[in-house]
Amino acid sequence: MASLARLLLLTVPVVLLAALYKYNEHLERKKPDWKVTADRIKLPDGRHIAYEVVGSRKARNPIFWFHGLASSRYEANAPQLNVLEAVDAYTVGIDRPAIGQSDPHAGRTFESFAADLADVADQLGIKTFFVVGVSGGGPYALAAAHYLPERVRGVLLISPASDYGLLTPHQRERWNQFHGATALSKAVRAAVRFAPWTLKGLARLSESKLGGRALYYGVFKRLIGSLRASRAEVDKRCSAAMKAQGVIPQSAPEPASDCPEPDKIPSALADVDRNCIAAERPDHLTRSIPQSQLQRTAAVLFQDVALFHTPWTFNVSTIHPDIRRATHIWQGTGDKQCPVVGAEALASAIPGSKLYIEEDGGHFAYFGCNETNRRKSLKSLISSGRRI
């Protein structure tokens, strides 16, 4: 009897692992259960990158727009068309691998992202361009500047994720005391300090179909769910704003059908950001975020987190001097996602860059819901751009 028990203890895990392996193979072969609706570029290795163009391709200043964590190519509409026309520019938003409608890329790096960007630009006939990185898109904008110095004309960072390795001891103390409101941010900070290898491990696990799907439902969806909280008054402001703009009639019931549901406003955001989403940018919740989760894989989160919070593979201080002088960093003091100290560290590490601090600016409201700042930031970017 004892020998039978030992045999079972040995064989059951092996059988279970074999079954999981076969099921993962099945998932890998299975066709996507979503329909391709985006414009996509086919890369030399057969993968596809989805993109979105906002504005006229005849404009003189192309801007590649890199979205934040758990967002998508639709962020390219953030500047708004009238501002793009004013600075003679258009934006190209691209989904990072496994996000939105771009194919997965196991083991992707900052350098591989820059190589993908170069291929996309080539196929779109864009020789030189500006790059904008919002939040988690910031490191990718800097990677493009580092790896593609002959093509990048200037960089705009909006509340960027930063390189922990750049921080001085005093700045690290401020970073560790930063009271981001999410369980995810606290867990990541703990992993960075005590067990950075866990981030890479989760990223690798999420790159398999089975691991990515399991982590998506077991971790990612729960984290997203933990960010939701009732905010009826914000929804009311959304209805009021739409009525004031003539989008819906004054007699329309509240909340307006195009407003995000009250419980869909992330409570982890600063109030100024929550109000911005509800009043002017509901598309961030109705389009950008849902699109990012289309493939139902946790790679949408863990690949980025691992790259951001382990040592970066390039040195921002060695970016081409002309690009450094055309680098603009914007940061809000009320940001509950990215601490101000991260933007300060980047500015110190990039000689010649300009740092703009918006008091109580939140994570993105100072740009997304402030046309003056949108015009100022893009005008400064383009006017300082290097001539190639």
Q: How far is the C-alpha of 295 from the C-alpha of 109, rounded, in Å?
A: 20
Residue 188 has pLDDT above 80, yes or no: no
Give the pLDDT confidence score for residue 27 in this predicted structure.
47
Spatial separation of the C-alpha atoms in residues 376 and 381, rounded to whole Å: 9
pLDDT band at 15 (very low <50, low <70, confident <90, very high): very low
pLDDT one-digit tens code per residue, 199-237:
888 889 998 988 889 888 887 776 665 554 434 544 565
Q: Give the start-to-end residue ranges of the domains of the chain.
A: 1-30, 39-181+313-384
pLDDT digits (tens, 9 = 90+) for 313-358: 999 999 999 999 999 999 999 898 899 999 999 999 999 999 999 9
Report strand pairing: 48-54 vs 89-94.
Answer: antiparallel
Do 71 and 292 meet the contact criterion of CB atoms below 8 Å apart?
A: yes
Q: Spelled out in words, what is the top-level CATH class assigned to the domain 39-181+313-384?
A: alpha beta
pLDDT for position 388: 80
The DSSP result for 213-280, as a single string, is HHHIIIIIHHHHHHTB---HHHHHHHHHHHHHTTSS-TT--SS-TTSPPGGGSBTTS-HHHHHHHHHT
The predicted-structure confidence for 268-282, as pLDDT tens digits, reads as follows: 788 888 888 888 888
Indicate the pLDDT class of residue 22, thresholds 50, 70 and 90.
Answer: very low
What is the pLDDT at residue 220?
Answer: 75
Q: What is the mean pLDDT of residues 157-161?
A: 97
Compute the half-sphere exposure of residue 39: CA atoms within 13 Å on the CB side of its CA: 12
Mean per-residue pLDDT over the chain, rounded: 84
Statement: the pTM of the whole predicted model exceeds 0.75: yes
- What single string gives the DSSP state of each residue in 115-181? HHHHHHHHHTT--SEEEEEEGGGHHHHHHHHHH-TTTEEEEEEES----GGG--HHHHHHHHT---S
